[in-house]
C-alpha cells in the first residue's frame, strides 16, 4: 500500500493537539488551585467543553495541518500554532464577555495557554526531528522522476540529494535518447507511462523548455488516471532576483519580468496618495508664503514671477516644470546653460536667497498634483543635458524608471550641478533611490530637505 504511514500524520497531529490542550487545561487548574477535582465539575467542566469545541471548529475551518513536505519546517509549524492559539484566546474571550462568565480565573486561563503553546511547540519540534530521521533512513519516501534533461533537471535532483529528510527519492530522467545522454537517460517518452506504473512514481517534474506542450498535456492527463503529481520546472532564477511577479489574466498566469519594486501597484498607489496629500497641505498651509515669495520676486527684478521649462519625466516623457524665477530675464538667450552656483551673475540677489532655502522650488507642488512629479525623486533634467550625461554614465537611464521629484538624495548631499561632470557626481547619490524607495526613506529625505532649507545651506 502506497504511503501507508502518511495517512496517520493528520489524525496523530490532531490528536496530539487535543491532548496538549486538555493536559494544559487540567495542569493549569492544578497549578493555580492546588487540586484537580474542580476542573472536571461545573462550571469549569462547561469551560472545558467550550475549549475543545472552539479548537475543533478552528481546525475544521483553517485546516492548519496541511503542509507540503517542502514547508514542513519549524519556521512554518510554530507560527501556525501561535496563530491558532491567538484565535482560540480571542474566541474564548468573546465567550466569557458575552455570557458574563466572571467567576473563571484569568490566571488559570493564562497558565493554560502558556502550557499549551510550550507543549504544542515541543511535540512539533520532536515530531519533526523524528520524521526527518525516519525519512533519512529510507522510510515514508516519495519517488520522483524528471522529464526533460538539462541543467535545470540536475538542479532539482541535487536539491533532494542534500535534503534527504524530505523523503524524496530520485528514480530517473526521461527525454529523447541521443548519443550525448544515452548513459544518463532512464527512458524515452514512449516508455514513461509504463515506468510510472511499474515503479509506483509519486511525482513527475517536467522541465521547460525541454518538453513540449503536447507531451506535457499527455502527462497531466495520465496523472489523473495513475494518481501521481505533476510539477512544472521553469528556470526563473535570473529573473526572480530582479523581482519578477505573476499576474493572472482571467485563468491565464502571466510572468511579469519587470522589476516588481518599480511596477508594484501598492507602492505606487501609496506614494501617489502621499504626494497628493502632502502637496495639498503645503499649498493650502503655505499659501501666504507663496504670495509673499511671488510678490518679492516681482518687485526685485523685471520679468514674470514664475519660470517654466521643459524637463524629462518618467519614461522619457517631457513636461513643463514650474519655479519661482531666480534669474534675470533672457538668462539663456545664448542657449541651454547650467547654473554656475550662487555666484552666477545671471542669478538675482533674491534668487540667491531662494536657491539657498529652496523656496524657488515651491511651485513644483503643482507639478506633483498634476502627476508629472513626486515630492521625492531624482531631479529632472533637460534632454540636452541628459544626452551628454548618458554618454558618460549610462546608468542615468535607471532614473527615468521613477517620477522625478522636488527633492532627492542628490539635492541634499550635492545640491545644484554647474556642469555635466557635476551632474554625474550627483548621479551617484540619486541612483540609490529607485531600489530603496519606501515611505520611511521618503520621509527621511523630506526631513533632511527641511533642515537644509532652515539652515540656508542649499547650493
Q: For 249, phi and psi rounded to 5 degrees? A: -100, 95
Residue 402 and residue 262 in contact, taking contact as beta carbons nearer than 8 Å: yes
Taking the model in full, what pTM does it have?
A: 0.45
Which residues lie closer than 8 Å to 170 by C-beta, 6 or more apart? Answer: 144, 145, 146, 157, 160, 161
How high is the pLDDT of residue 375? 93
Q: Does domain 142-235 have CATH number 3.40.50.720?
A: yes
Query: Quick one: pLDDT band at residue 247, thresholds 50, 70, 90?
Result: low
pLDDT at residue 3 greater than cutoff 60: no
CATH 3.40.50.720, the chain: domain bounds: 142-235
Dist CA 430 CA 436 (whole Å): 10
Query: Quick one: pLDDT band at residue 6, thresholds 50, 70, 90?
Result: low
Query: Quick one: pLDDT band at residue 20, thresholds 50, 70, 90?
Result: very high
How high is the pLDDT of residue 289? 92
Tens of pLDDT, residue by residue over 341-392, are: 566 788 899 988 988 888 999 999 999 999 999 999 998 988 988 888 888 8
pLDDT at residue 426 greater than cutoff 60: yes
Tens of pLDDT, residue by residue over 106-120, are: 899 999 999 999 999
How high is the pLDDT of residue 342? 60
Which residues lie closer than 8 Å to 111 by C-beta, 6 or more apart? Answer: 27, 28, 31, 32
Query: Quick one: pLDDT band at residue 79, thresholds 50, 70, 90?
Result: confident
Mean pLDDT of 45-70: 83
Among 127-136, 232-241, 309-318, 416-425, whose mean pLDDT is lowest?
A: 232-241
pLDDT at residue 458 greater than cutoff 60: no
How high is the pLDDT of residue 26? 93
How high is the pLDDT of residue 313? 92
Q: Provide the percentage of residues in the chain whose pLDDT is more than 70.
A: 85
How high is the pLDDT of residue 11? 82
pLDDT at residue 91 greater than cutoff 80: yes
Query: Quick one: pLDDT band at residue 56, thresholds 50, 70, 90?
Result: very high
User: Comparing 214 with 8, which gets the higher pLDDT?
Assistant: 214
Residue 248 and residue 221 in contact, taking contact as beta carbons nearer than 8 Å: no
The DSSP element (H or E) to which 233 belongs, if any, is strand 229-233
pLDDT at residue 324 greater than cutoff 80: yes
How high is the pLDDT of residue 253? 64
Mean pLDDT of 257-285: 75
- Nine-digit cell string for 159: 536539491
How high is the pLDDT of residue 248? 61
How high is the pLDDT of residue 343? 65
How high is the pLDDT of residue 1? 43
Mean pLDDT of 307-322: 92
How high is the pLDDT of residue 261? 47
Average pLDDT along the chain: 83
Which residues lie closer than 8 Å to 40 by C-beta, 6 or more apart? Answer: 26, 48
Say whether the peptide bond before residue 242 is cis (omega within 30 degrees of 0): no
How high is the pLDDT of residue 246? 62
DSSP string, 100-166: T-TTS-HHHHHHHHHHHHHHHHHHHHHHHHHHHHHHHTT-S-EEEEEES-SHHHHHHHHHHHS-GGG
Mean pLDDT of 126-143: 78
Most confident range, picked from 22-36, 178-192, 379-393 = 22-36
pLDDT at residue 322 greater than cutoff 90: yes
CA angle 285, 450, 456 (to 5 degrees): 110
How high is the pLDDT of residue 262? 47
User: Comparing 174 with 255, which gets the higher pLDDT?
Assistant: 174
pLDDT at residue 263 greater than cutoff 50: no
Exposed, middle or buried: residue 106 (CB in 10 Å: 0-12, 13-18, 19+)? exposed
User: Nearest Cα to 29, choosing from 20, 40, 16, 18?
Assistant: 40
Amino acid at each position: 500500500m502506497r504511503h501507508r504511514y502518511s495517512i496517520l500524520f493528520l489524525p496523530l497531529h490532531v490528536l496530539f493537539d487535543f491532548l496538549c490542550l486538555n493536559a494544559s487545561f487540567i495542569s493549569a487548574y492544578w497549578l493555580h488551585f492546588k487540586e484537580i477535582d474542580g476542573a472536571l465539575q461545573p462550571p469549569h467542566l462547561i469551560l472545558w467543553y467550550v475549549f475543545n469545541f472552539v479548537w475543533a471548529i478552528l481546525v475544521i475551518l483553517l485546516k492548519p495541518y496541511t503542509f507540503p513536505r517542502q514547508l514542513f519546517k519549524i519556521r512554518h509549524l510554530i507560527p501556525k500554532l501561535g496563530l491558532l492559539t491567538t484565535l482560540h484566546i480571542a474566541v474564548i474571550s468573546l465567550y466569557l464577555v458575552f455570557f458574563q462568565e466572571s467567576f473563571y480565573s484569568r490566571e488559570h486561563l493564562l497558565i493554560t495557554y502558556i502550557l499549551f503553546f510550550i507543549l504544542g511547540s515541543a511535540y512539533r519540534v520532536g515530531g519533526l526531528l523524528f520524521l526527518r530521521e525516519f525519512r533519512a533512513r529510507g522510510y515514508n519516501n516519495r519517488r520522483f522522476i524528471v522529464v526533460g534533461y538539462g541543467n535545470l533537471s540536475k538542479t532539482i535532483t541535487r536539491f533532494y540529494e542534500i535534503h534527504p529528510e524530505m523523503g524524496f527519492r530520485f528514480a530517473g530522467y526521461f527525454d529523447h535518447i541521443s548519443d550525448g545522454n544515452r548513459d544518463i537517460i532512464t527512458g524515452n517518452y514512449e516508455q514513461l507511462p509504463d515506468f510510472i506504473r511499474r515503479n509506483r512514481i509519486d511525482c513527475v517534474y517536467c522541465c521547460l523548455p525541454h518538453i513540449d506542450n503536447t507531451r506535457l498535456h499527455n502527462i497531466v492527463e495520465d496523472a489523473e488516471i495513475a494518481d501521481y503529481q505533476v510539477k512544472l520546472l521553469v528556470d526563473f532564477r535570473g529573473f526572480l532576483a530582479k523581482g519578477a511577479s505573476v499576474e493572472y489574466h482571467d485563468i491565464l498566469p502571466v510572468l511579469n519580468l519587470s522589476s516588481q519594486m518599480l511596477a508594484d501597484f501598492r507602492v505606487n498607489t501609496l506614494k501617489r496618495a502621499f504626494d497628493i496629500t502632502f502637496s495639498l497641505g503645503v499649498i493650502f498651509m503655505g499659501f501666504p508664503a507663496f504670495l509673499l515669495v511671488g510678490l518679492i520676486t516681482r518687485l526685485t527684478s523685471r520679468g514674470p514671477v514664475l519660470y517654466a521649462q521643459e524637463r524629462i519625466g518618467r519614461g522619457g516623457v517631457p513636461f513643463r516644470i514650474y519655479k519661482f524665477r531666480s534669474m534675470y530675464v533672457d538668462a539663456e538667450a545664448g542657449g541651454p546653460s547650467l547654473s554656475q552656483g550662487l555666484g552666477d551673475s545671471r542669478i538675482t540677489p533674491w534668487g540667491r536667497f531662494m536657491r539657498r532655502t529652496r523656496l524657488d522650488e515651491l511651485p513644483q507642488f503643482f507639478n506633483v498634483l498634476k502627476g508629472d512629479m513626486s515630492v521625492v525623486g531624482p531631479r529632472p533634467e533637460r534632454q540636452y543635458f541628459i544626452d551628454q550625461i548618458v554618454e558618460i554614465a549610462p546608468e542615468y537611464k535607471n532614473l527615468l524608471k521613477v517620477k522625478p521629484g522636488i527633492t532627492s538624495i542628490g539635492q541634499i548631499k550635492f545640491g545644484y550641478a554647474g556642469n555635466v561632470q557635476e551632474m554625474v557626481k550627483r548621479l551617484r547619490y540619486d541612483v540609490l533611490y529607485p531600489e530603496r524607495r519606501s515611505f520611511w526613506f521618503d520621509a527621511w529625505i523630506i526631513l533632511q530637505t527641511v533642515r537644509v532649507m532652515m539652515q540656508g545651506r542649499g547650493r
